[in-house]
Amino acid sequence: MQRSDYFSIKFINNKIVFLDQTRLPLTEHYIETSGYERIAEAIEKLEVRGAPLIGISAAYALALSVANTTNEKKADVFYKAAERLMRTRPTAVNLFWAIDEMKKVFEANKGSENIYDVLLNKAKEIHTDDIEKCRKIGENGLRVFRHKSKILTHCNTGKLATGGDGTAFNVIKTGFRNDLVEFVYADETRPLLQGLRLTSFELEKNGIPFNVQSDSSAAALMKQGKVDFVIVGADRITLNGDTANKIGTYNLAINANYHKIPFYVAAPSTTIDKKSATGDDIQIEFRNKNELTVLNGQQIAPDNYNAYSPAFDVTPAHLITGIITEKDVYSFPYNFLNE
C-alpha cells in the first residue's frame, strides 16, 4: 500500500467498506457489510471509531436498513436500526446528530418508493460534508501556529476518525505541508493505545516526523521545552466550551496550563452539543474492565480486580486556549449558542 493510500470508510456497490482499526498498525484489513447490525458491532468493538466517523457509519447503516425491506416494514426496521445504533456509544454527539438527520429525511419521505436512494443520498451528503469540514479545520488551524512547532497530540483524530483528513490531525498535516511542523509527540493513549497504533500509523503514512511516548511522560516533555502547543480532538463540546475527549485529555490540559503551553481543540461544528450547557450534562461512557486487565488476549491482572475505565473525560473550557472548527478559531470564554 502506497503512502497515504488508506481510507476509513467507503460505500461501494451497496455495501459499507471499513478499515478494521483494531488490527492496526500491523494489518490493514478492510471489512464489507450491508447490515446495520454489523456496523453497530463495529462501533462497539472500536473497529470503527472517532466521533465524526461513527456518525457517518451510522448514516450509511440506516440507509442500508431499508434496502431489502418491504414497504410496510420499512418504518419498523428503520427505527429499530436507529435505536440499536444509538445504544452503541453514548458520548460521541456526532452519532446522535447523524441519526437525527437521517430520521428527518425518513419521516419526510417514508411514503416514497425510492426511500433507500433518498436515505443513501443523505448519508453520502453527511460524508461529503465531513470531508469539507475537515479541510476547513486544517486551513483554520494554520492560524494557531506562531512558528515552526513541536506538537503534542492525544488519541487519534485523523482520517481514521473522520470522513475526511481529520480534525486535530489535519491541523498538524496542513501545518506540515506549509513547513510549520517540526515534530509531533503522539501520546500512546492508554488503555487501547489509539495514539501508538493509529496516530503513529497516520503520521508515518504522511511522512511526518514523530515519537510515540507514554501518556505519563507528557509533563516532562513540556518542562523540557519540547512542546510548543497541544492539540486534540473532541467527542462532544458543550455550549460553554467544556469538552469531552479521550480519557487523559484533561490531564494534558492541566499540564499544559501549568507550563503555560497553548492547548487547542479541533472539531467540526457538528460536535457542538446545543442541548448541553456544560460538561456536567455529558454522559461519559465506561468500557469493559478487560480493556485494562487483558493485553493482546493475555490476562495481566487477576479477574477479581475491579477497574475504573471511563472512555472519556471532560476538560473545562477555561483550560482550552482555542477551539478550531470549520467556521472559525474561537477563544475563551466560549458561547456556542448561536453558532
| Domain 140-331 in CATH 3.40.50.10470 | yes
Residues carrying CATH 1.20.120.420, the chain: 9-135
Nearest to 140 by CA among 111, 171, 118: 171
pLDDT value of residue 163: 98
Domain 9-135 classification at class level: mainly alpha
Q: Model confidence at 2, in pLDDT bands (50, 70, 90)?
A: very low
Annotated catalytic residue within 130, 187, 228, 235: 235
Q: What percent of the chain is modeled with pLDDT above 70? A: 99
Q: What's the predicted TM-score (pTM) here?
A: 0.95
DSSP state of 195: I
What whole-number percentage of the chain has pLDDT above 90? 94
pLDDT tens for 31-49 read: 999 999 999 999 999 999 9
Catalytic site includes residue 328: no
Contact between 56 and 8 under an 8 Å Cβ cutoff? The reply is no
The three three-digit cell numbers of residue 162, written as one number: 473522520
Taking a C-beta distance cutoff of 8 angstroms, is the pair 154, 253 a contact?
no
Q: What is the pLDDT of residue 189?
A: 98
C-alpha cell belonging to residue 163: 470522513
The boundaries of every CATH 3.40.50.10470 domain in the chain are 140-331
Span 199-229, pLDDT tens digits: 999 999 999 999 999 999 999 999 999 999 9
